[in-house]
Structure formats: C-alpha cells, structure tokens
Homo-oligomer: A and B are copies of this chain.
Amino acid sequence: MYREQIKVLDCTIRDGGLINNHDFSVDFARAVYKAVSDAGVDYMEIGYKNSKKFFSEKEYGPWKFCDDDIVRQVVDGIEAGAKISVMADVGRVDMDNVKPAAESPVDMIRVASYAKDVDKAILMANQFSEQGYETAINIMAISRDQGIELDEALHQIEEESKVQIVYIVDSFGSLYQESVETLVKRVKKVVKSKEVGFHGHNNQQLAFSNTIEAIIHDANYLDATVYGIGRAAGNCPLELLIGFLKNPKFDLRSILDLISQKFIPLRDKIEWGYIIPYAIAGMMNEHPRAAMALRGSDKKEDYREFYESLINVGLE
C-alpha cells in the first residue's frame, strides 16, 4: 500500500523561523528534532546557511546561519535521528565557509532559487555535492514562472547539476490540484534522473491536498511542518501527512505530544495559518508580503480594502 521511496522532510524550524527571525531556542529545536525523529521523519531542515557578512547576528537568531556547532547541540545524543538539512539562498551564502560534509552535522543542502537564477543555483549545488552533501534545488514561486524559462531551467538541472532532487515550491499558495499534476508531470518529463519533491503553502488550505496530488503523480520528497507552522499561511501540516502515509515506519504520537505541549502555546504568541489576507494573496498568485504588512497594521481585518488594492494593482 505504501511507496518505500517516499521521504518526508520537516521544515518546522526553517520555515517557522521566517516568522520569528529564526530565533527558536536550542531546546525548542531539539524538542522538534526528537519528536520528528521519533515519528519516522527522514529529514529535518533546521534553517538557512546565510553569511554573517550579509545578515547581522543582532537581528537574526542562530537558524539564519546554522553554524555547525549549534546544529550539533540540537542533534547530539538523539539516536537514529532524522538527517539534517539546511537551505542555501542564491547569493546569500559565504561558499568558502561551508565545511565538507564529513566534518559537519549537516547531511543535505537545498538551494532555493527562482527559475531565472538556476545557473547560480547549479554552481552552488554542485560545490555542495562535491563536498559530500546530498543536494537539491528548490524552484521557488513556480506558479509565477511557468513559461519556457521553466523548461530551460529544468533541462539545465537535468544536464548540468549533480543534485538528487528538484522541488516544486508553491511559494504563493496559489496552485490547485490540476496545476500540481501538470507541474509534476512537466518536471518528470525533463528531469528523468532525479527525484521530484513538493513544498506547498497553505494560503488556500490546499498545501496538504496538493502534497497528496504530488504523491499521486510520483513526487517522492515531501515537505511539511508541525501544526502547519510557517511564514504567513504556513505549510502542509506534518501531522496530516503522517496520518495519510501508510508506511509503517511513521508514527503520529510524538508529533501530537509536541503540538499539545509546544505549538498550542506558541500559536498564542506568533501568528500563522488560515487568515483571509493570505488566502486573498494566494487566490491572486501574489507574494504574501503585502498581506503580512496588513497583518502588522491596524487594518489587519480590513479584508475588502486589501482585496481591492490587489485587484487594482492587477489592472495597472
């Protein structure tokens, strides 16, 4: 009934960090790591590998940089734990500062890139591959870049890169299941030597169903976060994905405890989830930036005005 090739990647600390400037405590990150490992999750993405030349440690917490030492504080002593992933944005990494995989607690580096930046992403990913890391390229905002530039990027990834996985990233939460089907098939048609992954956003409550749709069409690498945490509307809830997958290695219990004990209190302090301005942004295939600004203002519940503002932009 299940497909052994399926791998689940939890990106709770990485994507959740976009809400709180990556400022989770080591204890919190360790609790998440322990729980997702106990649940049978394959990878945990802990943050970004950004350079301190470009971002200040005063402004951002440790998961903006993911120094090997602090990653070790999260994983050390937890037996049979999930593999550790970090994300690298094109143009924000100090490439000379990434140690070989053999000397690092990090197992995988995923390079996040728009289709147009794929040359840079391939260059970075290939260096990480040569250093011994598992690698992936995550094609961001794919709902916006569906022209021939996407096919060209896919051909380049297939032919020039050493990555194991290409991820479709619905950054704006605007894909429906038919668009997911079309995109997974389009990627698989070109990228024959690599696995396909899917990362959904939950603006329209479609992150989980779109992930199922990706599974149906043979995507094997699936992103999710505990209680759906993540910037703006958040992501595919890990607990729903684990509940859906039939592989006996997965077990929901540790995730349920983690939500009860850590995420219900956290949700009272920071906001994510089904919130109308994010839904509107998703419907309109827009970055959540404007909706996030609205939620930080005294017009946070003025949905109609926000909707009109996006419609008017669209017609200019």
Contacts and interface: CB of A to CB of B under 8 A. Distances in A.
Nearest to A283: B243
B208 A260 contact: no
Contacts of A252: 307
Interface string A245-263: 0000000110011011000
Interface string A191-231: 00000000000101111111011001000000000011000
Given A213-B177, A244-B176, A257 B303 contact: yes
Interface in A258-316: 259-260, 264, 273-274, 276, 279-280, 283, 301-304, 307-308
A141 to B, nearest CB: 19
A165 to B, nearest CB: 24
Interface string A154-182: 00000000000000000000001110000
A31 interface: no
A179 to B, nearest CB: 11
A304 B257 CA distance: 6
A239 interface: yes
Say how many copies of this protein the assembly contains: 2
A279 B205 contact: no
A74 to B, nearest CB: 23
Contacts of A204: 208, 240, 243
Size category, A interface: 35 or more
A237 interface: yes
Contacts of A308: 253
28 contacts: A176-B212, A176-B244, A177-B177, A177-B212, A177-B216, A178-B216, A202-B205, A204-B208, A204-B243, A205-B209, A205-B237, A206-B209, A227-B276, A237-B274, A237-B279, A239-B279, A240-B283, A243-B280, A243-B283, A253-B304, A253-B308, A256-B307, A257-B303, A257-B304, A259-B276, A260-B303, A260-B304, A274-B274
Given A227-B276, A228-B274, A252-B307, 18 more contacts: A177-B209, A177-B216, A204-B208, A205-B205, A209-B210, A237-B274, A239-B276, A243-B280, A243-B283, A253-B307, A256-B276, A256-B303, A256-B307, A259-B276, A260-B276, A260-B301, A273-B274, A274-B274
